[in-house]
Chain A
Amino acid sequence: MNDATQVAQANEERVTPVNKPTVRSLYRARVKVHPRLVPGFYRRLKWIAMAAMLAIYYLAPWLRWDRGPNAPGQAILIDFPERKFYFFFIEIWPQEVYFLTGILIMMAIGLFAVTASFGRIWCGYACPQTVWTDLFIQVERLIEGDRNARMRLDAAPMSASKLGKRALKYAVFLVISMATGGAWVLYFADAPTLAHQLVTFEAPYAAYAAVAFLTASTFVLGGLAREQVCTYMCPYARFQAAMLDEHSLIVAYRADRGEPRGKHKKGDSWEGHGDCVDCDSCVAVCPTGIDIRDGQQLECINCGLCADACDAVMDRVGRPRGLIGIDSLANVTARKQGLPAATRIFRTRTLIYIGIWCAVGLFMLGTLLLRNDIDVNTLRDRNPLFVTLTDGSIRNGYTVHIINKQHAERPLTLSVDGLPSARVNVLGDSGTAAGAKVTVPADGVGEFKVFVTAPRDSVKTESTGIHFIVREADGRVSASRGSSFRGPSR
């Protein structure tokens, strides 16, 4: 079916938008949206974005990254048993979960900045819901035909041919869903090993449960629910009003050019006639089932497919392109009043967003680069608070944890600062004058029962502030942690 016949058909039968801006009953049954395929600039952009998103999703777990013998070789890995997160050169331990907070802040601010500047391009191009819905619609299109064929098939009584098409469609949906779920779990274990285990039925139960859950959610959300997720479930559509302003770029219908709309026969004069020929192509291609000419609506995901559809029609009727295009609400108003339109991407608001985003990013980068690969924590014995030994000296017990983030075993010396003539030793070892020698395993935490003993006379107060000092084999101080030393009251 070519464009000309499509337009002709569209001219004959009016296309009603599924989601009219008028108040709709919340009890209304869903009317399925059958978007028509239309080639064009935005459609090509969407294909490219989809290919990029799917490629990232499916290929990322297979990327390798050499971290040495004692660490996993997967570039992106969320290691639940070890409670570690690997991302290329970055390695995050459980106590560094604030990095996750920082990333979430950056994602939120980034989304604000992009939306304030360019509207909901996240919704239209990058959101997994959009990518997978687009994929499922394309599968549907290949099996059941384009919009009109699908609508006819929906209305037709059940037959062998319809059953076959439906069965094939849902089978392909299921395969895509399973592939989605299967790729998800690869981020949580060594990808080649787990992929092999998954197909040979040797993978852990949890992996299959996750695949099953992701398969079901992909099938239901992308295959069946589609635009309803964006319209009814996603909070982003609801608070976009707070992110968009009159200068944000949105997909808009230029009412000043298009109105008064109406049918137009070839050869007729355009005098007193707007450019909109009321062909409803923009409605037929819309994946969320709206009529863009009704103005900005919460269902609109800013994908621009209606602009593609309109441009094709404008080309055919010999009017300039861009009747539907990227515009801002300020420009829409300005054009109505006959004022010049201007696009302002960088405004105080967007600059503040970018500023915050950069500040958080720089802070995180700084923290990441400056963080120590060793940490020490101490837990002082409270029962008993202290022990008096036969020679009168006072002993305190501590549980010391030393975290070694190097991929190699680490010999260290543990000593105490702040208590002159105190002796430090680890249980079972008398210690040296320089302190207690301890060895922390590679990429792990060493737990040591440590005793600090001080002569009675050197313990002047009930509680003395001390510092545990960790020294490397070359004598460099690499970590320290404050604690206290308790003694009898004087």
Chain B
Amino acid sequence: MSTIEKDSVTGTATTGHEWDGIKELNNPLPRWWLWVLLATVAWSIGYWVVYPAWPVPGLGTTRGAIGYSSRVDHENELKAAKSLQAGMLTKIAAATPEQIAADPEMRAFALAGGRSAFQLYCSQCHGTGAAGAAGYPNLNDDDWIWGGKLDEIYRTLRYGVRWPNDDTRMSDMPAFLADGVLKPNQIDDVADYVLGLSGQKADAQAAERGKTVFAENCAACHGETGKGNLEVGAPNLTDGIWLYGGDRNAIIASVRYSRKGVMPAWEGKLDAATIKTLAVYVHALGGGK
């Protein structure tokens, strides 16, 4: 037995370790600290047994005694949330969009659900704020090609635009140049006339010539005054809102080659309740009629 050397200055025992003449004092950890450390070690062993812990080739990890898994936890939470929503979703699926909008409880649910579904299925084209882009209508305004009433929006959502099914929204403006109906100069003239209809600057003489062209070729769908026709999906040409741009070049391009935007039919892809909540949400963006 060697005697424990004491440090002459502090009177504390040394550990006997020496580095370049410097000796380490033996100041042990407080006992409670040590016990806490040992308790955490013991706890960790219990943890390995109870919870998934160690990687096992082929198995992934050990399963743990209570079979806990954060994935299962998450799935259960989803299931619980779904079962909470189930009653309301059934009610919504059975109601018409008008009934949903009229009932405060269903409406609040539909607005929240519709917002989420819109971000998932619609925002890719219409934008997260539904402000649209060239070729993709802005759903916030009060300008509707196929109608802004709840049931009209609902129908557009169900069957889409120019989508292969019997009920789809279908308008078929000719490509007046490509189809050989009009000559380039006639198209330029009608563009000036259309510019004038919406109050933009236009060449008066060209517009006068274009008026006849318009009456013969365009008025059947867009109407004598150019106010459009919701029945056939002919846009109003007198307002300030243009799906493909309202300047001279954009109008000429539209008349020459036509525009054939497409929106998918959601019937069959989404369940009835989701489509109805979407209709209520879009209608409540501010432009609903």
Contact = CB atoms under 8 A, between A and B. Distances in A.
A and B physically associate: yes
Contacts of A389: 141-143, 241, 287
Which 7 residue pairs are nearest across A and B when measured between Cβ atoms?
A383-B129, A384-B131, A390-B239, A387-B140, A390-B143, A392-B240, A384-B129
A395 interface: yes
Contacts of A27: 30
B128 A388 contact: no
B274 to A, nearest CB: 21
A388 B236 CA distance: 15
Interface residues on B, range: 10 to 19
Q: What is the interface of chain A mostly: helix, strand, loop, or mixed?
A: loop
A383 B286 contact: no
A381 B241 CA distance: 20
A429 B287 CA distance: 12
Contacts of B141: 387-390, 395
Interface of B: 30, 127-131, 138, 140-143, 236, 239-241, 284, 286-287
B240 A390 contact: yes
Contacts of A219: none
B30 A427 contact: no
Contact of B284 (A381, A387, A390, A428): A428
A427 B108 CA distance: 13
Contacts of A395: 140-141, 286
A384 B138 contact: yes
A395 B288 CA distance: 14
A451 interface: yes
A397 interface: yes
Contacts of B143: 389-390
A383 B241 contact: no
Interface residues on A, range: 10 to 19
A391 interface: yes
Nearest to A453: B286
A46 B236 CA distance: 88
Given A384-B129, A384-B138, A389-B142, A397 B239 contact: no
B9 to A, nearest CB: 15
Contacts of A384: 127, 129-131, 138, 140
A390 B286 contact: no
A223 B240 CA distance: 80
A395 B141 CA distance: 9
A471 to B, nearest CB: 24
Given A427-B284, A451-B286, A388 B129 contact: no
A442 B141 CA distance: 34
B240 A387 contact: no
18 contacts: A27-B30, A381-B129, A382-B129, A384-B127, A384-B129, A384-B140, A387-B131, A387-B138, A388-B141, A388-B241, A389-B141, A389-B143, A391-B239, A395-B140, A397-B286, A427-B284, A449-B284, A451-B286
Contacts of B128: 383
